[in-house]
């Protein structure tokens, strides 16, 4: 008798090997299966009568119950948290124990949440970020205050017509002082209202070079006194130059912040340096004296009157640098440069990094003068992600070109019998 493909009688004669060869199974990676048997569609039974009746009612929440190979439920090993669980316990005891463990888990979860919340309901893991944001806001406010004081000082002592002291012999020429700030420095010096802008740019340039910059020898570390050039600079430069990846950058900035906090701890809201702070005050006074001596020819008042005010400005800059160095994040001032070395003008204006103090000329796209540098942050509060930087405070620049002030031409003297003589003749009736 001929057997056709698909007959049931023919299927019964196939061997297992023929079935595997003709009907291949799904090729899926084998998973590790523990030695248990899963019975689907069966739920734990809540009472003895229901257990004997063998009800098949299934619950959508409990449709998977694991059993061992011999058909009994899997029971974890006995521990102090499970004192009454023994192999062979009744099904209702296991269910009751399951709900008890669930309640214990929920209670522990609530306790963990309660302990993870600090004062005012703020999670403790975000308290550090909140403190960090508060300190960062303080840095920004102190920077804005420092900018305001420098602007106020320059407007008070350098605005208006020049006096006879500008004709005295200068220690440094105008080009030596302001040549790197703008190529139009002569027009700024002669202009009575724009001269304070050039003075602001010069003061910020000197502060950035001598106070905030610690790369060049003799610069920075003003807050450290004699420890700066003797101890801190050498070891800091060695560690900074050895940084080659993100992990090393995190370790370096963590060491830097910890070192500064140990050298100048804060006790009762005041800084208590662990070294002699007298050289710090002496260095600030020396810096102020050099600054006044160089800017004296361009002032409209005696700079002896502003000794205390200028000393407060430089002291605030040193304190701001110290506070920046205490953070795990890397705060630094950014000065944009032109096409040549030491040329801080002549570059394109960028709205994301700069603020133009002259709002009347929107077409000007070339920066003529940089008044104050931008503040940049690299890394976050916890000392990570140092490959990303953010501009916190934009740079103050001026894009308006200052024209040279030319004195008015004097008219040649005319004859005395001019308008005055004609008016006199009319008054006397001779006209």
Q: What percent of the chain has pLDDT over 90?
A: 39
**23: exposed, middle or buried (Cβ count in 10 Å: 0-12, 13-18, 19+):** exposed
Classify residue 66: in a domain, yes or no.
yes
**Mode of pairing for the β-strands spanning 395-398 and 354-356:** parallel
pTM of the full predicted structure?
A: 0.65
Please check whether residues 46 and 171 belong to one and the same domain: no
- Where does the pLDDT of residue 134 fall: very low under 50, low under 70, confident under 90, or very high at 90 and above? confident
Q: What percent of the chain has pLDDT over 70?
A: 65
110 vs 187, which has greater pLDDT?
187
Classify residue 429: in a domain, yes or no.
no
| Cα–Cα dist 204/114, whole Å | 49
Please check whether residues 187 and 58 belong to one and the same domain: no
Please check whether residues 209 and 156 belong to one and the same domain: yes
Classify residue 348: in a domain, yes or no.
yes
pLDDT at 101: 87
Last residue of a domain, one of 115, 143, 174: 115
pLDDT at 37: 44
Classify residue 196: in a domain, yes or no.
yes
Please check whether residues 79 and 143 belong to one and the same domain: no
pLDDT at 381: 76
pLDDT at 86: 55
pLDDT at 310: 95
Which has the closest alpha carbon to 314: 197, 230, 209?
A: 209
Q: Tell me the per-residue pLDDT of 75-105, one tens digit each, with 9 for 90 and over.
A: 555 555 545 555 555 677 788 888 888 888 8
pLDDT exceeds cutoff 80 at 180? yes
Structurally, the chain folds into a number of domains equal to 2
Helix (H) or strand (E) holding 281: helix 278-295
pLDDT at 46: 40
| Cα–Cα dist 369/397, whole Å | 6
- Where does the pLDDT of residue 251 fall: very low under 50, low under 70, confident under 90, or very high at 90 and above? very high
pLDDT at 342: 84
262: its two tokens: 């140990």
pLDDT exceeds cutoff 90 at 413? no
Paired strand residues for 270: 267
Please check whether residues 141 and 111 belong to one and the same domain: no
Please check whether residues 70 and 173 belong to one and the same domain: no
297 CA to centre of own chain: 40
Please check whether residues 287 and 384 belong to one and the same domain: yes
Helix (H) or strand (E) holding 270: strand 270-271
| Cα–Cα dist 393/374, whole Å | 6
Q: Which of 14-18, 293-297, 308-312 has the lowest mean pLDDT?
A: 14-18
Please check whether residues 147 and 111 belong to one and the same domain: no
pLDDT at 211: 94
Which has the closest alpha carbon to 175: 186, 166, 167?
A: 186
Classify residue 357: in a domain, yes or no.
yes
Q: Tell me the per-residue pLDDT of 18-60, one tens digit each, with 9 for 90 and over.
A: 655 555 554 544 444 545 544 444 444 344 344 444 444 444 4
Please check whether residues 140 and 259 belong to one and the same domain: yes
Query: Angle at the Cα of 346 (from 342 to 348), degrees rounded to 5?
Result: 120
133 vs 311, which has greater pLDDT?
311
Please check whether residues 296 and 393 belong to one and the same domain: yes
pLDDT exceeds cutoff 50 at 365? yes
Q: Tell me the per-residue pLDDT of 254-297, one tens digit each, with 9 for 90 and over.
A: 999 999 999 999 888 888 999 999 999 999 999 999 999 999 98
Q: b/e per residue, 361-378, with b = 16+ CB within 10 A?
A: eeeeeebbbbbbbbbbbb
pLDDT exceeds cutoff 70 at 225? yes
Please check whether residues 220 and 333 belong to one and the same domain: yes
Classify residue 430: in a domain, yes or no.
no
Q: Which residue do the tokens 């024209």 mark?
A: 403
Residue-averaged pLDDT of the chain = 77
Classify residue 121: in a domain, yes or no.
no
- Where does the pLDDT of residue 147 fall: very low under 50, low under 70, confident under 90, or very high at 90 and above? very high
| Cα–Cα dist 235/250, whole Å | 17
Classify residue 200: in a domain, yes or no.
yes
Q: At what angle do helices 246-263 and 307-325 cross, to 10 degrees?
A: 130
Please check whether residues 386 and 256 belong to one and the same domain: yes
Q: Which of 46-60, 116-130, 322-336 has the lowest mean pLDDT?
A: 46-60
Q: Mean per-residue pLDDT for 344-365?
A: 82
Sequence-ordered list of residues with C-beta below 8 angstroms from that of 31, at least 6 positions apart, any chain: none
| Cα–Cα dist 195/361, whole Å | 19
**How many Cβ atoms from other residues are within 10 Å of residue 141's Cβ?**
10
The range of the structural domain enclosing residue 39 comes to 17-115
């Amino acid at each position: 008798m001929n057997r056709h493909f698909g007959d049931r009688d023919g299927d019964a004669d196939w061997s297992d090997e023929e079935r595997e060869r003709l009907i291949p199974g799904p090729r899926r990676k084998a998973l590790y299966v523990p030695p248990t048997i899963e019975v689907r569609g069966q739920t734990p039974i809540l009472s003895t009568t229901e257990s004997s009746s063998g009800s098949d009612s299934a619950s959508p929440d409990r449709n998977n119950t694991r059993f061992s190979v011999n058909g009994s439920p899997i029971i974890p090993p006995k521990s102090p948290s499970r004192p009454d669980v023994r192999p062979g316990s009744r099904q209702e005891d296991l269910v009751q124990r399951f709900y008890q463990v669930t309640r214990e888990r929920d209670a522990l979860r609530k306790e963990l949440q309660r302990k993870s919340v600090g004062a005012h309901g703020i999670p403790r893991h975000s308290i550090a970020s909140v403190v960090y944001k508060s300190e960062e806001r303080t840095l920004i406010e102190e920077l804005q205050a420092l900018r305001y004081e420098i602007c106020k000082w320059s407007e008070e002592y350098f605005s208006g017509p020049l006096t006879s002291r500008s004709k005295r012999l200068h220690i440094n020429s105008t080009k030596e002082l302001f040549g790197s700030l703008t190529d139009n420095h002569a027009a700024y010096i002669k202009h009575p209202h724009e001269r304070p802008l050039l003075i602001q740019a010069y003061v910020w340039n000197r502060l950035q070079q001598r106070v905030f910059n610690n790369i060049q020898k003799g610069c920075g570390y003003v807050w450290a006194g004699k420890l700066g050039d003797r101890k801190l600079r050498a070891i800091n430069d060695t560690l900074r130059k050895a940084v080659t990846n993100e992990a090393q950058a995190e370790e370096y900035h963590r060491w830097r912040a910890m070192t500064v906090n140990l050298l100048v701890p804060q006790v009762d809201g005041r800084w208590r340096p662990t070294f002699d702070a007298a050289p710090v005050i002496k260095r600030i006074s020396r810096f102020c004296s050099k600054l006044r001596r160089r800017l004296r020819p361009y002032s409209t008042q005696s700079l002896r009157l502003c000794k205390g005010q200028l000393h407060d400005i430089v002291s605030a800059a040193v304190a701001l640098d110290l506070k920046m160095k205490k953070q795990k994040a890397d705060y630094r001032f950014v000065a944009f440069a032109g096409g040549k070395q030491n040329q801080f003008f002549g570059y394109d204006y960028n709205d994301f990094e700069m603020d133009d103090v002259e709002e009347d000329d929107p077409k000007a796209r070339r920066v003529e003068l940089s008044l104050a540098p931008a503040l940049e942050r690299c890394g976050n509060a916890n000392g990570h992600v140092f490959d990303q930087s953010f501009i916190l405070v934009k740079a103050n620049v001026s894009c308006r070109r200052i024209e040279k002030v030319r004195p008015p031409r004097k008219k040649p003297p005319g004859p005395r019998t001019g308008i005055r003589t004609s008016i006199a003749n009319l008054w006397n009736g001779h006209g």
